[in-house]
Amino acid sequence: MNLGNLELSILFPAFLAGMLVLATHVPLGQQVLNRGIVFIDLAIAQVAGLGVTAASALGFEAEGWRVQAAAVGAALIGALVLTWTEKIWPEVQEALIGVLFVVAACVELLILANNPQGGEHLKDLLVGQILWVQPQQLIPIAALYAAALLVWFTMRKWLGQIGFYILFALVVTQSVQLVGIYLVFASLIVPALAAKRFAEPLRLAVGYAVGIVGYVLGLVASSLFDLPTGAVIVVTLLATMIVAALLALAAPRGARATPAAAVAHAAE
């Protein structure tokens, strides 16, 4: 691989985008895993994508505020619907999340059915275009994520269900447009799974480490072998998670979660 100026000028903004996504998705992903609502990110991301698709079909500019408003509005509606269903039908919440995802995806396909560029648009939403991120795009997203992290680490106990879903929807809406639905899901769940068997004080650090290594390896591998970057990062995140899981087995007792602690943590 020739890491000349041109390659670095593409890889570095993509790396920064990945680090921004991980900054919020690692702690939120651990909460999603603890709540047992693993596919919420896919559902909210798909609903946000539906908002983008619908606004684009109406002729609004892809980078315009109307498209952003449509994405955020759709994600917030999806979040409020899931908040309501969790209160009235909690025993089947995961199934309802799956239904929301499938319905949103099908409506999006219907909107794109007669669009000659529909397939490419759908691919961009799913796999993302992280390599084409521009540095100026990252400034407002960094500000939003910083505010989200401040709220999460200082006010998490007072957010409640509706607060969590709204915060989650706002973050995921931006992430899905930045890196695609698949990478949003992997960034949330894979680091959380990798950290699950480590002691509680280590989980956040392990999650961030797995995410950072996975993104770096994915960006380098995609450049080396000229493969789709988002898909490669998903695979390298999985590989890094496997290594972390093996390290957890070999870690000192104090660094590992005991079975009782893991069960209790999952029930929170």
Q: Which residues of 162-172 are buried (b: 16+ CB within 10 A; e: fewer)?
A: eebbbbbbbbb
**Amino acid (1-letter code) at residue 154:** T
**Domains of the chain by residue range:** 5-266
Class of the CATH-defined domain 5-266 = mainly alpha
pLDDT, mean over the chain: 84
- In whole angstroms, what is the distance from residue 250 CA to residue 246 CA? 7
- Least confident range of 52-61, 145-154, 222-231: 52-61
Predicted TM-score (pTM) of this structure: 0.83
Residue 262 has pLDDT above 60, yes or no: no
pLDDT at 3: 45
- CB 167 within 8 Å of CB 152: yes
- The pair of structure tokens assigned to 253 is 């007792």
Longest C-alpha distance within the chain, in Å? 58
Residue 54: Cβ within 10 Å count: 17
Task: List alpha helices for 4-64, DSSP H.
Answer: 5-35, 40-57
- In whole angstroms, what is the distance from residue 5 CA to residue 202 CA? 37
| Cα radius of gyration rounded to whole Å, the chain | 19
Closest CA to 179 of 129, 120, 134: 129
pLDDT tens, position by position, 139-192: 999 999 999 999 999 988 888 878 888 898 889 888 888 888 889 999 999 999
Residue 261 has pLDDT above 70, yes or no: no
- CB 149 within 8 Å of CB 77: no
